Amino acid sequence: QVQLVESGGGLVQAGGSLRLSCAASGSIFSINAMGWYRQAPGKQRELVASIATDGNTHYADSVKGRFTISRDNAKNTVYLQMNSLKPEDTAVYYCEINANFQYYWGQGTQVTVSS
């Protein structure tokens, strides 16, 4: 079994920064793609950013140039550095990790950006 623990959410003013972390633990033999999604009230969950095992990254157009995804394979951890935050970035952020060729989700962390 694999467990994901997220941290780093909170309340920030527009223009501020936050860094999210998601650490995987348990019986892990391999970790492949890692990513971050978000879901705002009344909206569908959407992909924010993803990172492959070779380090290739993908970003939603709405966060390009402001967010950076990274991973620490030794710690089985994925990060999301969020800069220049906007009120429309307010959402619950979820990490998703492909471990042992199965997908696992974090519990979600609230990010609230005030104007």
Give the helix/strand (H/E) hosting 94: strand 91-99
- Quick one: average pLDDT of 11-30? 97
Condensed to tens digits (0 to 9), the pLDDT of residues 40-79 reads: 999 999 999 999 999 999 999 999 999 999 999 999 999 9
What's the CA gap between 70 and 58, in Å, rounded?
Answer: 11
Residue with tokens 């694999």: 2
Give percent above pLDDT 90 in the chain: 99
User: What token pair was written down for 31?
Assistant: 């970790």
